[in-house]
Copies of this chain bind each other. A is one copy, B any other.
C-alpha cells in the first residue's frame, strides 16, 4: 500500500470518501491525493495490520531458519463473475485460492500481497464489502495481507474488480509434494465432496433456484494440509481441484508423473443437490471447479493414516479414497462407473464454466 496509510500521514483537509454512494474514479488510480485517500480509508482500514505502513512494500520477519527450509511462492489472478456468490465473494476467494496454492506445495503460508484492478464507476460500497471479506478470510487463516497495489482503468476496460493475490510460505525440510512425484501403486485421496463452487457460481450467474441452494466450498486448506503432513510427511502430491475439476487435475498429475490413474466413481463424494444440478444442466461434476477440496496422492502403506488425519479436520470430514495410480505410458485417467463399466476421464477440452475463480 503505497502512500500515506500511516496515522502520521493523515491529511486532515480532505473530506472522507462516500463509502455508501460513491464510486471509483480514474483519480483513485492516479497516484495522487485521491489514491492515498482510497488506500487509507478502504484498504488500510479494512486490512489493518502492522505491516501496512505506507511504503512500496512490506518488511517481514521470516521464520527462524531451519536447515533445508525453502521459500514457496505462488500467485493467482481472480476474475470470478459474479463478484458475490452463495458462500463467498471475490475477496475471500482471492485469499483462499492463494493460501491453497502455497499449501499444496506442502508449505506453511505466511504472508499475502494483493493487487487490485478496479473499473471506473465501481461502487465503493461493494469494494468495502470485498475488502472486509478478504480481511476476515486472512484473519481467520492467520495469513495477513501485508502489501498491495491499486490501479483503475476506464469504464468498459475491466469488469468491476480483478484481484491478484500472491502468497509466500516456508517449506520444511523433508517435505516434497509435487505433481511429478506420483508412482504406480500410490493411493488417491480426495478431501470431500466435489462440484460445489462451480455450481454455486453457475446458479448465481444463471439466476437458477434449486430446491436446496448450492453454496461454494471456498475455504483455506492450509490447516488440513498441516494436519495431513504432520501425520504423513511422505505425501507425494497435493493439488487443489480448481479450474477443470478433479478430472483435469488428475490428468495434470498423470502427465507430470508419467503414470495413469484408475478411479472408482462410487467412492467420489458428490452432494445430492450438486449431482441433481449437474444432471439437469448437463455438467459432469468431475470437471466442475472446487475451491476448498484437495487431492492427495500417497504411498499405499500410508493411505489409511493420511485418510484418518484428514477426517479429523473439519474440512476433511468427508475425505475418501477414490482411486490408485497405475503404470500407464499413455497416462490415461480411467474410471469404473457406478454401473461397473469403465471409461476414460479426459482433460477438460474447451471452456466449461468460464471465470469461476
Q: Which residues of A are in contact with B by a Cβ distance under 8 Å? A: 2-4, 6, 8-11, 25-27, 29-36, 53-62, 65, 69-79, 81, 100-102, 104-105, 107, 111, 113-117, 146-154, 156-159, 162, 164, 166-168, 171, 178-180, 239-240, 242-245, 248, 252, 255-258, 289, 347-355, 357
Contact = CB atoms under 8 A, between A and B. Distances in A.
A25 B65 CA distance: 44
A149 B77 contact: yes
Given A59-B71, A77-B115, 19 more contacts: A4-B255, A30-B350, A30-B351, A33-B347, A35-B243, A53-B178, A54-B180, A61-B71, A73-B113, A75-B164, A76-B115, A77-B149, A115-B166, A117-B164, A151-B355, A153-B162, A153-B355, A164-B166, A168-B168
A31 B244 contact: yes
A295 to B, nearest CB: 12
A149 B164 CA distance: 9
A258 B8 contact: yes
A70 B62 contact: yes
Nearest to A146: B73
Contact of A347 (B36, B114, B116, B158): B36
Copies of the polypeptide in the assembly: 2
Q: Which of A62, A149, A166 has the most CB of B within 10 A?
A: A166
Nearest to A106: B59
Nearest to A2: B252
Contacts of A354: 26, 29-30, 152-154
16 contacts: A2-B252, A6-B179, A30-B244, A30-B348, A31-B244, A58-B72, A59-B70, A59-B105, A60-B72, A62-B62, A73-B168, A74-B113, A74-B147, A75-B166, A153-B354, A158-B162
A357 to B, nearest CB: 8
A105 B55 contact: yes
A148 B113 CA distance: 14
Contacts of A151: 77-79, 162, 355, 357
Contacts of A69: 62
Q: Which of A69, A168, A258 has the most CB of B within 10 A?
A: A168
Q: Which of A100, A113, A257 is packed against the most chain B CB atoms within 10 Å?
A: A113
B168 A71 contact: yes
Contacts of A258: 8
Which of A60, A81, A350, A351 lies at the interface centre, i.e. has the most chain B CB atoms within 10 A of its CB? A351
Contacts of A178: 53, 55, 59
Contact of A255 (B11, B71, B240, B255): B11
Given A79-B151, A115-B75, A159-B153, A348 B31 contact: yes
A255 B148 contact: no
Contacts of A32: 243-244, 248, 347-352
A315 B136 CA distance: 43
A117 B9 contact: no
Given A148-B75, A162-B117, A102 B9 contact: no
